[in-house]
Chains A and B, each alone.
Chain A
Amino acid sequence: MSEHILEFKPAEGFRARSKAVVDNPFLRQSFRGAMDFLMSKRAAQFPDAEELESLRTLGERIRQYNLAKLPTLLEQLEAKLTQNGIQVHWAETPDEANAIILGICHARHAKLMVKGKSMVSEEIELNHAAEAAGIGALESDMGEYIVQLANEKPSHIIMPAIHKTKEEIARLFADKVEGVDYTDNVDALIQIGRNVLRQKFLEADIGLSGVNFAVAETGTLCLVENEGNGRMCTTAPPVHIAVTGIEKIVEKLEHIPPLLSLLTRSATGQNISTYFNMISSPRLAGEKDGPGEVHLVLLDNGRSQAYADEQLRKTLQCIRCGACMNHCPVYTRIGGHAYGTTYPGPIGKIISPHMLGLEATSSMATASSLCGACGEVCPVKIPIPELLMRLREEAFTAPHANPAMVGQGAGYSWLMTSVWKGWAAVYRSPSLYGVATWLGSRFSWLMPSKQGAWTSVRVPLKPAPRRLRDMLRERG
């Protein structure tokens, strides 16, 4: 049922992809059920509205404080990590990031890389690059393992396989995992994955992970996870490579507790995740485990474009909890794959244009009813609706007219822009508006009974026989 989705062209086919999900009651129901569950778990974590509000305000301030100092903090982080024995690499593009990672692999004659959950590795499509270079890349997060087996992409940034039922996973395991019979017992399925992965952690030459927070002052890489696979990836193989976006930085350790609390409570409704890893160096003399080598790859990929604009910079406050997806009435209906971007849902709509260009993501900002639920739940108060509006403005503006989105075409067609110009001409002028609405009500019987997309599912609209303004005038 889940289609093979590897090559995305976000702007093209968004409607067709979303329609496919909307028309599939089974898939729709499974998304809806999962999102309702996550929403209620989050709500249970924040029973006190005042506490939530003050924690969100604190989270916002911490993120804004650190973003304001980002260039300095990045230098400080590099210096501190280097001092701690962790090697730092800078990548402007996904290709550069892949080249760096695969370069490290080649230097160690690596054959197998085990991966902890990392959305940045999805963003750069590392698995493809590794495969092309003859290096096995194996996902070890259970959800990521499932979507990798199915040759798909994650449909949610926290719950990659949320679109799959346990029966589908059971069939997938029976088909793809050697020596496994069909079972839809969830515990048995997890045990199957665990048995496969346990062996691979021991065999792997490279462990790859993401980073939730990088602390500049101490040179510490923090990793939030629930399955223990992140700890395995970062301790068992001889080399650990962490990859993350340049925005994930905080100055001080004391910035972490509020952000961590907001992250786990907003994401999965957990008070705290099962594992919280803090990595400050490779294995030191006398230590019994840990990798001999640790690398950090810092990726830009459009983030500095968002950073350069004061308003768009707020996009980078994100701590990747996924609450905006769980609460989005559009995401809940269409799921993550329909978006065609690595990051789906509301956060995907505001971050993807910087990564892929505005032209390629023009349906992102408009496929929103601007209901505001995302902004309401965001733990670091990213004003997502306001940023969607800003991106709509950028798309409306002629190409290259605005330095904020340099080198990117307008997302709107000439026809659409003209329609708005005509509309505005009528609504700016009380006299033209008067004529138009008078015609509308006087000739309401001429109103077609088929009104395009509106009447495909609703009864037609009919203007009232008399306008309010006429009736008020007569009333005197």
Chain B
Amino acid sequence: MSEKPKRVALFVTCLVDMFRPEIGFAAVKLLEDAGCIVEAPAGQTCCGQPAYNSGDRADATAIARHNIALLAGFDYVVLPSGSCAGMIAKHYPLLFEDDPEMAGKARALAQRTFELTSFLVDVLGVEAVAGASHLGKVTYHDSCSGLRELGVKTQPRKLLGSVAGLTVSELAAPEECCGFGGTFCVKYPEISDRMVSDKAADATATGAAMVLGGDLGCLMNIAGKLKRQGSPIAVRHVAEVLAGGALVAPIGESGEE
């Protein structure tokens, strides 16, 4: 059976581009290992979520229009982030509900857009990955948008289950928000701090050496808190571990060396 390889646009997300390019490389490797032809369209900036979540619909719409044009023509669009994937897959169609010319294009893009681990498992049917070996006990934080907008829950765990020498020890409240919430964390720092402190305590209580997740925003928030507390727990994007190969310094630690 010779199925034509799928042409996948990797939308790296602005946070990954700026703060953690390694996640982008890991995503490329995972997709290529699964037989995809991967491109990262050069004109990509941001999904527009920060403006959208702040109520700036006009600017979010302008950014969405740019991305819809940029990402047309690919079989699939994959993002190493549940919240950015959710923005394109769930909210772009809402932005163009009253625009007959764009509505169809937005819906078509939405249907082709996936979060990385759900694309690997649900679309490509990947059962196992190479993975970084012998990491021991890790724990997993379910980011809100991926979980509730896209149903990302079992997919990363399934792939992690195939990695040798790795077990997932669940958080007491894996589905509880870490307190990032985009601008929420700087607008309401006291509340956000309480939320991320509880998340850090939950992670610490599992005895895991590593916290994994699928969204860099949440991971920077959790790592920022754990490192501030002097915790030895490493924080990484799940793609870094799934892709295998050498691991760079964990999130929040690279800048301090």
Query: Bound pair: A and B?
Result: yes
A interface residues with partner B (beta carbon < 8 Å): 15, 18-19, 22-23, 28, 329-330, 333-334, 365-373, 375-376, 389, 391-397, 412, 416-417, 420-421, 423-424, 426-430, 433, 437, 440-441, 452-454, 456-464, 466-469, 471-472
A333 to B179, CA, bound (A): 11
Taking a contact as CB atoms under 8 Å apart, the answer to whether A389 and B52 are in contact is yes
B19 surroundings in chain A (CB, below 8 A):
461-464
| A457 surroundings in chain B (CB, below 8 A) | 189, 192-193, 196-197, 224-225, 228
Q: Are A392 and B181 in contact (CB under 8 A)?
A: no
CB of B184, distance to nearest CB on chain A (Å): 4
Instruction: List 29 interface pairs A-B (beta carbons < 8 Å), by A numbering.
Output: A15-B188, A22-B190, A329-B176, A329-B179, A330-B195, A333-B194, A333-B195, A366-B183, A367-B184, A372-B145, A372-B149, A416-B54, A423-B50, A424-B59, A424-B63, A427-B63, A428-B59, A452-B186, A453-B186, A453-B189, A454-B186, A457-B225, A458-B224, A458-B227, A464-B21, A467-B18, A468-B40, A471-B25, A472-B24
B185 within 8 A of A: yes
Chain B residues with CB under 8 A of A23: 190
Separation in Å of the B56 CB from the closest CB of chain A? 5
Interface of B is mostly: helix
Min CB gap B152→A, angstroms: 13
Q: Flag whether B154 is at the interface (Cβ < 8 A).
A: no
Cβ of A420 and Cβ of B51 under 8 Å apart? Answer: yes
**Between A and B, how many residue pairs show CB distances below 8 Å?**
199
Question: CA separation between A458 and B227, bound complex, in Å?
Answer: 7
Cβ B63 vs Cβ A369 within 8 A: no
A437, B15: Cα distance in complex, Å: 10
Q: Looking at A365, A370, A396, A458, which has the most chain B CB atoms within 10 Å of its CB?
A: A458
- When A366-B187, A372-B144 are in contact, do A458 and B228 touch as well, CB less than 8 Å? yes
**A19 touching B62, Cβ below 8 Å:** no
* Given A395-B55, A461-B220, 16 other A-B residues pairs in contact with their CB atoms under 8 A: A15-B190, A18-B191, A369-B195, A371-B176, A375-B148, A394-B55, A427-B45, A456-B189, A456-B193, A458-B224, A458-B225, A459-B255, A464-B21, A468-B16, A468-B25, A469-B17
Closest to B48 in A: A427
Which one of B21, B197, B256 lies within 8 Å of A466 (CB-CB)? B21
Residues 30-59 of B, flagged 1 when their CB comes within 8 A of A and 0 if not, give 000000000010111110101111111101
Provide the residues of chain B in CB contact with A460, threshold 8 Å.
224, 255
Specify the chain A residue showing the minimal Cβ separation from B177: A371
Q: Which of B56, B60, B182, B184 has the most CB of A within 10 A?
A: B56
Contacts A454-B224, A460-B255 given; does A370 touch B196 at CB 8 Å = no
The answer to whether A396 touches B56 (Cβ under 8 A) is: yes
Check if B81 is an interface residue, CB within 8 A of chain A.
no
Centre residue among B145, B185, B196, B255 by max chain A CB count within 10 A: B255
What's the least CB distance linking B86 to chain A, in Å? 10
**Residue in B closest to A412 when the chains form the complex, CB atoms:** B55
Taking CB atoms, residues of chain A closer than 8 Å to B45 are 426-430, 433
In which size bucket is the chain B interface?
Answer: 35 or more
Is there a chain A Cβ closer than 8 Å to B119's Cβ?
no
B180 on the interface (CB 8 Å rule)?
A: yes
Contact assessment for A329 and B55 in the assembled complex, using a CB-CB cutoff below 8 Å: no
Taking the complex as formed, is B93 at the interface, i.e. its CB lies under 8 A from any CB of chain A?
no
Q: Is B171 in the interface zone, CB < 8 Å from A?
A: no
**Is the pair B24, A370 in contact by a Cβ cutoff of 8 Å?**
no
Task: State whether A371 and B18 are in contact (beta carbons under 8 Å apart), knowing that A428-B63, A458-B221 are contacts in the complex.
Answer: no
Q: Which of B42, B56, B194 contacts A430 (CB 8 A)?
A: B42
Contact present for B55 and A396 (CB under 8 Å): yes
- A366–B184 Cα distance when bound, in Å, is 7
Is there contact, CB below 8 Å, between A396 and B57?
yes
Query: B residues within 8 A CB of A456?
Result: 189, 193
Q: Distance (Å) between the CB of B32 and the closest chain A CB?
A: 11
Contact of B236 with A by CB under 8 A: no
Are A333 and B17 neighbours in the complex by a CB distance under 8 Å? no
| Cα–Cα distance between A73 and B59 once the two chains are bound (Å) | 41
B243 contacts A by Cβ under 8 Å: no
CB distance from B101 to the nearest CB of A (A): 19
Q: A15-B188, A369-B179 known; A469 and B42 CB under 8 Å?
A: yes
CB-CB nearest in chain B for A429: B45
Q: Are A22 and B194 in contact (CB under 8 A)?
A: yes
Q: Contact check: which of B16, B53, B177, B221 meets A392 at CB < 8 Å?
A: B53
Given the interface contacts A372-B149, A396-B56, does A424 sit within 8 Å of B51 by beta carbon? yes
Which residues of chain A come closer than 8 Å to B57, judged between CB atoms?
393, 396
Which one, B14, B40, B52, contacts A472 given CB within 8 A? B40
Among the listed B46, B52, B62, which residue makes an inter-chain contact with A433, where contact means beta carbons less than 8 Å apart? Answer: B46
Cα distance A428–B195 when bound, in Å?
32
Bound form: Cα–Cα A441–B45 in Å: 15
Residue in B18, B50, B177, B183 whose CB lies within 8 Å of A464: B18
CB distance from B231 to the nearest CB of A (A): 11
